[in-house]
Structure 1
Amino acid sequence: MSKPITGPAFLDISDVTIAFPRSRVPVLNGVDLKIRRGEYVSVIGHSGCGKSTLLNVVAGLLPATSGGVVLDGREVSGPGPDRAVVFQNHSLLPWLTCYENIRLAVDQTLSRAMSRAERHDWTMENLALVRMTGAKDKRPGEISGGMKQRIGIARALAIKPKVLLLDEPFGALDALTRAHLQDQVMAIHASLGTTVMMITHDVDEAVLLSDRIVMLTNGPNARIGEILDVDLPRPRDRLELVADPRFIAARAHVLAFLHHRHAAPGMVAA
């Protein structure tokens, strides 16, 4: 179970309900979640439970039917540079180089705070952060899927967001690339202390990366069924964790929630 947060939350999702006009039943119903500054929180659940819908509300891309979101004391009423989103699809502009994709975001959000030279240096710093300096002059069509996601993450971090929102960012990658990128995101989180909210369907990924795992019940009318504190020290090594009883117990706990207490519709629980 999760320990309650005392004091004001950095990201406060308060009693959020999402209902669409053509449906009598809301997608999400009364979701309450408080996230600490610098915390890495994963949201997991079966398809159709509203995970990405919740992230879109936090991103300001979708208004809540009722309830709301407050980030660092300010109500979220639309998209803003204080929240950066990385989707499963990298969404890079194909006619721009890797450098230019990041630089465009930097110019649009930080032009008043940084000189032209400073924006160049900051773009290069973010390329280095995801180990993509050598590919700075390549276009998206000339690099692999994993490299595209690295650029997408660098572009998101380059605008200096208060919260990094990840919507299944590793879902389209092969297993080896996914593992390498997960390790890199862990290193970035440790280095920058960025607050992260990640949507995932991968139990091992959630346990490896997260401080807490938020488990949603089946949709529609989904709610938070349980929140699990991941009691694993950082930095984390995936090879060492394989045999760690705390990792095994956390993984088993989430699997039990998903496959026994809240099996997907039409699925027979083992």
Structure 2
Amino acid sequence: MSDRYLIIDNVNKIFHSKKTATHVLDSINLTVKRGEYISIIGHSGCGKSTLLNAVSGLTTATSGYVILDGKEVNAPGPDRALVFQNHSLLPWLSVYENVALAVNKVFGASKSAQERKDWILHNLDMVGMSHALTRLPAEISGGMKQRVGIARALAMQPKLLLLDEPFGALDALTRAHLQEEVMRIQADLNNTVLMITHDVDEAVLLSDRIVMMTNGPRATIGEVLEINLDRPRNRIELASDPLYNEYRRAVLRFLHEKQQKVAPLTPEASENKQSEADQRVSVG
């Protein structure tokens, strides 16, 4: 297993407008092993999606770089497959056709028509959607749509699977079923996964490590928590596991306490603060 399969080295991201510059990411450094499952968690606005977009190649870092399997990332590519919270299926294509679109684009020159068909069916069967090949997205549930999105991503055989809150819009029961599916698939295929989540339980259940982001602007990695729980994992058994619950507490402590960053006061603000303190003393 390569210890430096994915390298995020000193990545900064600044968004410029006509009047302002917003420093979203500040000195992000992370290395990921091949086959590792990493969750990124933090409050809204901390740059999680910006970081994922930099890894996917959808946005370019202002400084620093991303290296995947020895090659620098500077544009989108089939070696990285991204699954969004919104399923992003084309509504006029069937379940089969949505997956076929990706497979034909990636493997059109290297696989025969029959090989591509077999591969599409294999991936849809893997996520339990082989019964709905001819249905349109409007004819299936939200959980089914996400299954198709995951099948489409896996069918590209990416080096890195990127998940941007893939279960966030689903009801609790459907989310639990899909989490189980992802754990099973990841165990079978040994995918390298980078996932954004707001769900602490989901992060602990699925991950090998949890990357905790500080608040923005100038968000950075505050802590990285290694999850030493045996696989396969059973959510019912883990509910009463002391180590599982300690991991949950550690993430919650960070999110509610340690992630807060206090910006330095400007001279004017410092003077006003001192003036307010003097007034309180005078009143007392």
TM-score in terms of structure 1 length: 0.94
Distance in 2, Cα, partners of 1:188 & 1:17:
33
| Structure 2 residue matching 1:20: 3-state secondary structure | strand
* Inter-partner Cα distance in structure 2 for 1:116 and 1:79: 25
User: Is structure 2 residue 2 aligned with structure 1 residue 12?
Assistant: no
Identity in percent:
61
Deviations 1:159-204, CA, capped at 9 Å, x for gaps = 1000000000000000000000000000000000000000011100
Partner of residue 111, structure 1? 108
Q: CA deviation at 1:219?
A: 0.4
**Residue 197 of structure 1 pairs with residue 216 of structure 2:** no
**Which residue, out of 118, 136, 148, partners 2:133?**
136
Give the aligned residue type for 2:178.
Answer: L
5 Å-filtered alignment, 1:39-78, equals 39-78=36-75
Whole-angstrom CA distance in 2 between matches of 1:191 and 1:264: 40
Matching residue's letter, 2:127: V
The Cα of 1:262 is off from its aligned counterpart by: 2.1
SS in 2 for 1:19: strand
1:112 positional shift: 1.7
Q: Offset at 1:209?
A: 0.2
Give me the whole-angstrom Cα distance separating, in 1, the residues matched to 2:45 and 2:74: 25
Q: Distance in 2 between matches of 1:7 and 1:242?
A: 32
Q: Tell me the distance in 1 between the aligned counterparts of 2:243 and 2:128.
A: 31
Contact kept in structure 2, 1:61 and 1:79, CA below 8 Å: yes
Q: CA deviation at 1:24?
A: 3.9
Contact 1:11–1:69, Cα closer than 8 Å, also in 2: yes
Instruction: Count how many residue pairs are aligned between Structure 1 and Structure 2.
Output: 260
Corresponding position: 1:253 with 2:250:
yes
Give the C-alpha shift of residue 111 in structure 1.
1.1
Displacement of 1:8: 5.3
Q: Which contiguous aligned blocks of 4+ residues in structure 1 show a shift greater than 4 angstroms?
A: none
Question: What residue is the counterpart of 1:219 in the other structure?
Answer: 216
| Distance in 2 separating the partners of 1:231 and 1:259 | 23
Match of 2:155 among 155, 158, 164: 158
Task: Give the structure-2-normalised TM-score.
Answer: 0.89
Match of 1:229 among 226, 230, 245: 226
Aligned-pair Cα RMSD in Å: 1.4
